[in-house]
Amino acid sequence: MSKRDYYKVLDVARTATEAEIKKAYRRLAMKYHPDRNPNDQEAEEKFKEAKEAYEVLTDPQRRAIYDQHGHEGLAARGGGGFGAADAFSDIFGDVFGDIFGAGRRGGGRQVYRGADLRYDLELDLEQAVFGHNATIEFTTLGECEPCNGTGAAPGSKTVTCETCNGIGQVRIQQGFFAVQQTCPRCKGRGQTITQPCDTCLGQGRVRKKKTLNVKVPEGVDTGDRIRLAGEGEVGRNGGPPGDLYVEIRVREHPIFERDGPHLSCEVPVSFVIAALGGTVEVPTLGGTVELKIPAETQSGRIFRLREKGVKPVRGGQKGDLFCRVVVETPVNLTEEQKDLLRQFDATMRKSKRDHSPRESTWLDGVKRFFETIKS
């Protein structure tokens, strides 16, 4: 057993109420919990020390003995630790509580971790690529303020549960096996409420709207999640709160498509530029750049602009931008323009194989196909 002053361990006054003790313990438990501090012996010892202080100071009888006689009084009473049944109960709660979300004992009660929540955050492509500070609003179960989460009306008292004697659990004998489960009367609190709080109806939690600022890092993509520790539902009976997971959804962009770190887009070019060559302006997320189109470029050709894509959120080289050329057929031609095209086409037909090799090869293939069918 720790010999440190329990009130100093929890950093509360000797006149602190149960709600104040619970709040102080919750803060230390979240800070030093072994799950958050793996392989940290010092944090584990501080967590055990805080838990020990909480269990004594939230038990009226043990607290009275401690206030009058200190650690020696508790040791003389035999209240310094758990009995065999209590030890089994504590181990059972620790192991299976982590896996299935059940509670852990603390101060003669069964404590439950709050549920995790998910929030879907939609972003524009630019916000996802360059990062964004988003403000989100959601509804969660928070601590009832009038009763400080106890479930009891202000000014009323709680009494030790007669069914479980304040343990928060009951043992049921089934043949050779003894099964421990949450007390059905006090729901694991160890205390029964004589006058429930009018606001939360004895639950200790109420639905609240919560607003948070979320810093979205650069390079996130659809499916990425941002974990905000302790921003989920508040726990029950002094248990730690759950976490909030912000799941990213990136909206479709009118120009770009994203594939991991790479971007792609279509670049329409005129018939003249595709045939004679030239330059066109291409949009990127950092502004426009000039793309050189060589002569005789065919529709569908892809040009690669290095490092004009996205910097991955988990690190790595910046992606590229792939530009797919689409040769645009002229529309809304005047009679003069149509006549010029007919004249141009007439000159092309004189040496078609030289000017349209793909068309000529395709026509040869069609001819061979029908000859094969006839034979």
Each of the 375 residues of the chain gets a pLDDT tens digit; together they read: 457 889 999 999 988 898 889 888 988 888 888 777 878 888 888 888 988 899 889 888 888 888 887 887 777 655 444 333 333 333 333 333 333 344 544 444 567 788 999 999 999 999 999 999 999 999 999 999 898 888 889 888 788 888 888 777 887 766 656 677 888 888 777 788 888 999 988 888 999 999 999 999 999 999 999 999 999 999 887 788 999 999 999 999 999 999 999 999 999 999 899 999 999 999 999 999 999 999 999 999 999 999 999 999 988 899 999 999 999 999 999 999 999 999 988 888 777 666 666 655 666 666 666 667 766
> Which residues lie below 8 Å from residue 351, measured CB to CB, with a gap of 6+?
none
pLDDT score, position 82: 36
pLDDT score, position 102: 44
Please tell me the total number of residues recorded for the chain in this structure: 375
Q: Cα–Cα distance between 295 and 131 in angstroms, integer? A: 40
pLDDT score, position 99: 34
CATH 1.10.287.110 fits 1-81, yes or no: yes
CATH 3.30.420.40 fits 112-151+202-251, yes or no: no
Token pair, residue 293, equals: 């189109």
Q: Cα–Cα distance between 70 and 200 in angstroms, integer? A: 37
Q: Where are the beta strands (DSSP E) in 124-204?
A: 132-143, 158-160, 169-174, 177-182, 191-193
Nearest partner of 275 among 293, 302, 301, judged by Cα: 293
Q: Are strands 278-284 and 287-293 parallel, antiparallel or unpaired?
A: antiparallel
Q: Where are the beta strands (DSSP E) in the chain?
A: 104-105, 110-111, 117-123, 132-143, 158-160, 169-174, 177-182, 191-193, 205-216, 225-228, 244-250, 257-259, 262-270, 278-284, 287-293, 302-305, 321-328
Distance of CA 342 to the CA centre of its chain: 63
> For 49, what's the count of Cα atoms within 13 Å in the CB-facing half-sphere?
19
CATH 1.10.287.110 positions along the chain are 1-81
Neighbours of 106 (CB within 10 A): 23
CATH 2.60.260.20 positions along the chain are 112-151+202-251, 257-374
Q: Where are the beta strands (DSSP E) in 162-243?
A: 169-174, 177-182, 191-193, 205-216, 225-228
Task: Identify the CATH class of 257-374.
Answer: mainly beta
